[in-house]
Each structure stands twice: as structure tokens, then as C-alpha cells.
Amino acid sequence: MTASQRPTVYIETYGCQMNVSDTELMLGKLTASGYEAVAQPDGADVILINTCAIREHAEQRVMGRIGEMKSRMSRGTVLGVTGCMAQRLGAELLDRAKHVSLVIGPDGYRDLPSLIESAREGVRAAATEFDLEEHYEDFTARRFDGVKAWIPVQRGCDYRCTYCIVPTTRGPERSRKLAEVVRETEAVVASGISEIVLLGQTVNSYFDGAHDFADLLRAVGSVEGVRRLRFTSPHPNDFSDRVIRAIAETTTVCEHVHLPMQSGSTRTLKRMLRRYTREGYLECVDRLRSAVPDLSLTTDIIVGFPGETEADFSETLSMVEAVGFDDAYTFKFSPRDGTPATRFPASDSVPDEIASERLARLIATVRARTRERNLELLGQRREVLVEKPARRGGLLQSKTRDFKVVMIPGDASLIGRYLNVELTGTTGSTFLGQVVHQRTPLPLAV
């Protein structure tokens, strides 16, 4: 770097949307402090790896990447590790990787500029204090997706699912003030974005001391210029009648809920401390579906949880059939240090071959159900929002309100527009669509 140039920063992001959103906040803070964001690590003055700790595999990937960065750094480059793995391992990471000079947990990003300054002078540091007041209200997120905006409304988690590291890495639950969320929504809309995704670990337990999630949905959903409102992830136990009514009555709220199930067996759910039964989950699905006809439902499922028997697992399979999910993210249980699930007797652990075999059966069941459901939708018309170029075939990738991915022909000038399409084909998971009628185009998102 020469004196006249601004220092450059590169951030690589792993994990969930909350981390993507945190990266946007960090980039906002650093660019406001004089840094220039760059898209490649090579030659960057500051490299940050924003990490995930949810499964062992996620951490292994990051450790590999941290190692690789050694060869991408030049003299004076500051390498920092942020996010959930930084929080979990803290100063231990400084010992494990000598070329890392900063370790910063999710509540420590306010001090990024000063920590980086010190690191440039050779001071290595780990900042992993939780700050229950921290929402980064004065940061302006630097967004890279020009079509939809992720807006965090809650940080941390107060549930204690026995498999999960998130309460350890993100700390206790706290909600932003409704007025702040509305203010950010208005700013986002003014920048040309009309799809909003509200983020929280159990987003529907949102409570800012005066307003609940129903109030929040109604307030954000009625901001002028918001055309689609989504939220992720809700917990089945936090769907009060008020929240369900707000979903049904707020026309901008999309007809899709991601409703993590984890298991279809009450016995397993109990050991996971999910705080609902198989019947309770089904009842939640029924309440949502009666309020919102044609609701699309997706879920998260874990297989091979300690003590899971073949009978428990077949209850998960039968739930996939009974609910008829539009799609599911499926995971093999990964023991996380310090979580209660690691304290079950060793004899409870499910051998890896069995877990792998169950995962394969689960994926096959989910895919068959998704395919069946998607075939039923062929010939229907949907409004889509064009998101980005598709990976293959010179097509564009777009999304329906009910979260179906539709590939359509067209050029990049359509990105950010709403179009009406007919669903003409499906691969089983995604659709091919033909534009049938073009609505008044919205201004292109920038």
C-alpha cells in the first residue's frame, strides 16, 4: 500500500444468512472508516474470514482456508477470524494459527477498525465478549445483493437445543427496536430493493419490549415500496395466533415458511430439547396452512442424533410424507464440544455408516416428495422476481413468492424485475418458465 491509496479489505463468509448480514455490517463499518472492499484476498491489506461453527465439517473447511491464506498474504497483511468459530475458540485460535492476528466474536465488530490498527502494529488480540445491547444500529450495511435485503431483527438464541452450538457462539437472545428495523427497511427500499428478509435464530420470538413479531411483520410489511417480505428461521413454538394472523393479513408476506422440524420422533425431539412433539409440529403446520392456503413449507432435519433408533428414523420419514415439504435441508448429526448432546452415553451414538445410510434414504424421500409436488405445479402461473444469471444455459434465475426457483430466458437487464411466468418444466427441484406477461417494470435495483 502506498500512502495515497486506501487500505483494502477482503471478507470471506461462511455459514448462515446471519453471517452474510454481519459481513455486510463489517464492510459498512470498514468502508466508512476509509477501507476499500476488494473481491480477492491476494494483495489485500486486511483479510477477514467470517466463520461458522455449526458442524465439524464447517470448522474443518475454515481451518483449511486459514492455512491456505498464509500463501495469499504479503508482509503486513492482517489476517482476522470473525464469527461463530472465532467466538467458540477465542484465543486458542491465535495459538493454533500464528499468522492470525485477530479473533473477533459476533458482538465485537464495533472495534474492528481499532483492532486492525493495533494488529498492524503487531498486537494480536481475541475479542469475544458478548454485548447484549449490540445491534450495530449506527453501522450502514454494505449490501452486495441488489435484489433482496437481509435485515437482522434479533441476535443470539435463548433456546438450548442439545445439539446446537449457536447459543454459545451468539449469546443470549435480544431484539432490535421495531422503529430501527422500519428505518433500515425504508433506507433499503429507497436504494431500489423491494424484497426484505427478516433474520433471527428464532425470529418469531422477536420482542422489543413493546412489540412482538406480529407487530413487526405488519410494520415492515406496510413500508411503502416493500413488495415481498420473508423471515427466517421461525421456531414452531413461537407461532402465536397473533403472528399467524399477521402473516395471513399482511399481503406482502410471502406464502412460504421455513419451519425447522429436526426430527419426526417425539422421543428424539425430547432428547433434542426442541420443546414440541410430533403432534405439536403437525398442529403448527395445520394452523399455518389453514391461515395461508397454498403455503409452501421447507424444513431442516438432522439424522443420526444420539439414541436415534430405526423406529425413530422411520417416524422422520413418515413426517416428510405426512407434511409434504416443498424442500428440506438435511444434516448428519455432528457432535459439538460443550453441547449437552455430547454428554449422552457413548452407547447412544449412531455409527457413521448408519447415519450416512439414513441420510441417503431421507434425501431420496425428500426429493421424491418435492418432485411430486413440483410436477403438480406445472402449467400454473406465478409472479417471479429475477435474481441473477443462472449458473448454466445462459438463463436467469428467478424466485416465486412461494420460494420456487424458476429459470427463465432473458438478459441481465431483467435482474431486479418482477415478471409473470408460466411454469413449463421441472427438473424435480427447480423449474423452467416462460414469461407470459410483463408488468410495469420497477426501476432496476442498484
Contact range with ligand SF4 by CB under 6 A, out of 158-166, 310-318, 323-331, 421-429: 158-166
Contact 202, 159 (CB under 8 A): yes
Minimum distance from CB of 392 to ligand SF4 (Å)?
A: 34
Contacts of ligand SAH in 209-238 (CB under 6 A)? 233, 235
Contact range with ligand SAH by CB under 6 A, out of 5-13, 326-334, 369-377, 396-404: 326-334
Among 8, 23, 262, 268, the residue binding ligand SAH under the rule CB under 6 A is 262
The amino acid present at 360, given as its one-letter code, is A
* DSSP-derived pairing of the beta strands 381-389 and 418-426: antiparallel
Q: Can you tell me the distance from the alpha carbon of 46 to that of 29, in angstroms, rounded to the nearest whole number?
A: 14
Strand intervals (E) in 251-375? 256-258, 296-303, 327-332
Contacts of ligand SF4 in 226-245 (CB under 6 A)? 235
Number of residues that bind ligand SAH (CB under 6 A): 17
* DSSP-derived pairing of the beta strands 418-426 and 431-437: antiparallel
Nearer to ligand SAH, 180 or 300 (CB): 300
Contact 101, 80 (CB under 8 A): yes
Q: Can you tell me the distance from the alpha carbon of 173 to that of 170, in angstroms, rounded to the nearest whole number?
A: 8
Cβ neighbors of 300 (< 8 A, separation 6 or more) are 233, 258, 260, 261, 262, 328, 329, 330, 331
Nearer to ligand SAH, 171 or 416 (CB): 171
Is 49 among the residues that bind ligand F3S (CB under 6 A)?
A: no
Nearer to ligand F3S, 44 or 85 (CB): 85
Q: Can you tell me the distance from the alpha carbon of 121 to that of 115, in angstroms, rounded to the nearest whole number?
A: 10
Nearer to ligand SF4, 161 or 415 (CB): 161
The contact pattern for ligand SF4, residues 179-208, with x = CB under 6 A and - = no contact, is ----------------------xx------
Read off φ and ψ for residue 293, nearest 5 degrees: -60, 150
Residue with smallest beta-carbon separation from ligand F3S: 15
By C-alpha distance, which of 55, 120, 117, 124 is closest to 84? 55
| Helices (H), ranges, 240-351 | 241-249, 266-272, 278-291, 310-323
Among 7, 90, 146, 167, the residue binding ligand SF4 under the rule CB under 6 A is 167
- How close are the terminal C-alpha atoms of the chain, in Å? 30
Minimum distance from CB of 151 to ligand F3S (Å)?
A: 16
The amino acid present at 234, given as its one-letter code, is P
Minimum distance from CB of 14 to ligand F3S (Å)?
A: 7
Contact range with ligand SF4 by CB under 6 A, out of 76-84, 90-98, 134-142, 159-167: 159-167
Cell of 217: 411483520
Contact range with ligand SF4 by CB under 6 A, out of 101-109, 162-170, 244-252, 323-331: 162-170
**Beta pairing partners, 383:** 420
Is 163 among the residues that bind ligand SAH (CB under 6 A)?
A: yes
Is 169 among the residues that bind ligand F3S (CB under 6 A)?
A: yes
Contacts of ligand F3S in 62-101 (CB under 6 A)? 83-84
SS3 of 375-423: HHHCCCEEEEEEEEECCCCCCEEEEECCCCEEEECCCHHHCCCEEEEEE
The amino acid present at 312, given as its one-letter code, is D
Provide the binding-site residues for ligand SAH, judged by CB under 6 A: 54-55, 163-164, 166, 201-202, 233, 235, 260, 262, 300, 302, 331, 333-334, 336
Provide the binding-site residues for ligand F3S, judged by CB under 6 A: 15-16, 18-19, 52-54, 83-84, 165-166, 169-170
Provide the binding-site residues for ligand SF4, judged by CB under 6 A: 157, 159-161, 164, 166-167, 201-202, 235
